[in-house]
Amino acid sequence: MLLISDLKLTSHDLSILIKIYSESKFHEERYEIVWVPIIEQEGEDVNNQFKNLQSQMLWYSVHYPTLINKVAIKIIKEKWHYRQETIVTVLDPQGRVSHKNATSMIRLWGWDAFPFSESVEKTLLSKPGISWFQLLLTDMVIPKINEAIKSQKYILLYGAEDNKAIHEIEEPVKKIIEDRVPIAAYNVTKNQLFWSRLESLMLSKLQTKADVHEPLMQDVLSLYTNFKKDGGFAVLTRGSRVVINDSIVDVTKVLSQYETNWKGPVKRNEMTFDAAFKEHRERVYVLPRCHHFYIPNMVGYIPEDVKCPICPRMMKNFVKFECCHGAH
């Protein structure tokens, strides 16, 4: 396994790899990890950072970044799509590539994804009843979230880069919680582990050339698009069952009308909170003029033809270059 990264290898990725490397079966099957550092800067500070990171690794490492042949670096960038984001390329005993980039499956499943081949990735992603919500949210991402899921609590997950949008959704939520509705609300705007797992799930699906029309892919792309392009996202669930996955603006609109428009049936036990929410949303929802997905080109693969999930037409494909300076 070739661990290819710069000096920004995260402590989380490092800890997962250490756990994998510590498994006895990993060595029984004669697997090894080799760190291939792609570091283009030079200087004493860079050298100290390199040695510090290297000292935390239990496996083999290139002694110094400048020893890596420039032709090899070019191949890694062109053939394996290395773009400063950490990748783990898996080779079989004959030196053939069994997975160009297993980083996503390692982040999502850890040791359970061993031996980290493309066929294992497809199997994990096609398991019956797989829940994207539970894949994204573990106790490591949000402490005690599994307890909330198992107890069938309502869970509101939301995120937006505009503080105003966050304030506007939190105001009605506070009143709903005060009204003794069992709802747990989490702002994941700055939760890097959540975004890492979301992007890992998208990357895994795109690498396996998954059908973008399947429900899991639709939900994940919708969440990502709402956050990146529509001002923010909000997901309401009952346990792990997703009630609504929408833009933060539309969900806020429904929640803010709880007191005046749809509180009655809930308090009289005529309807559950989620059923009343959905019924009111259908009354106030306005279908947008255009439906769009934001698909980051993380693996050099973008579906050629995507059918609109709302109408029978084919969606148009627009290419856009974007830099978020390391954020999300």
Can you give the residue ranges of every domain in the chain? Answer: 2-125, 132-284
Beta-strand relationship, 87-91 and 97-99: antiparallel
- Distance, CA of 58 to CA of 285 (rounded, Å): 54
Interval 236-295: pLDDT, tens: 999 999 999 999 999 999 999 999 999 999 999 999 999 999 999 999 887 766 767 777
Q: Which residues pair with 5 in a beta bridge?
A: 37
pLDDT at 89 over 70: yes
- Distance, CA of 225 to CA of 292 (rounded, Å): 8
- Distance, CA of 312 to CA of 309 (rounded, Å): 7
| 5 half-sphere exposure, CB direction, 13 A CA radius | 20
Q: Report the C-alpha dihedral over residues 306, 309, 314, 317, rounded to 10 degrees.
A: -50
Angle between helices 248-255 and 273-284 (to 10 degrees): 110
Same fold, 2-125 and 132-284: yes
- Distance, CA of 17 to CA of 11 (rounded, Å): 10
pLDDT above 90 as % of the chain: 68
- Distance, CA of 103 to CA of 229 (rounded, Å): 26
Q: What is the CATH number of domain 132-284?
A: 3.40.30
Q: Which residues pair with 35 in a beta bridge?
A: 3, 61
Contact (CB, 8 A) for 259 and 170: no
By C-alpha distance, which of 285, 256, 242, 49 is closest to 168? 256
CA 220 distance to own-chain centroid = 8
Contacts of 183 (CB under 8 A, 6+ apart): 153, 154, 155, 156, 173, 176, 177, 273
Tokens 């698909």 sit on residue: 295
By C-alpha distance, which of 184, 85, 193 is closest to 136? 193
Select 2-125's CATH number: 2.60.40.1170, 3.20.20.70, 3.40.30.10, 3.20.20.110: 3.40.30.10
The torsion angles phi and psi of 92, rounded to 5 degrees, stand at -85, 175
Interval 91-140: pLDDT, tens: 988 889 999 999 999 999 999 999 999 999 999 998 888 889 999 999 99
pLDDT at residue number 301: 55
**pTM reported for the whole predicted model:** 0.86
Interval 203-221: pLDDT, tens: 888 888 767 778 888 899 8
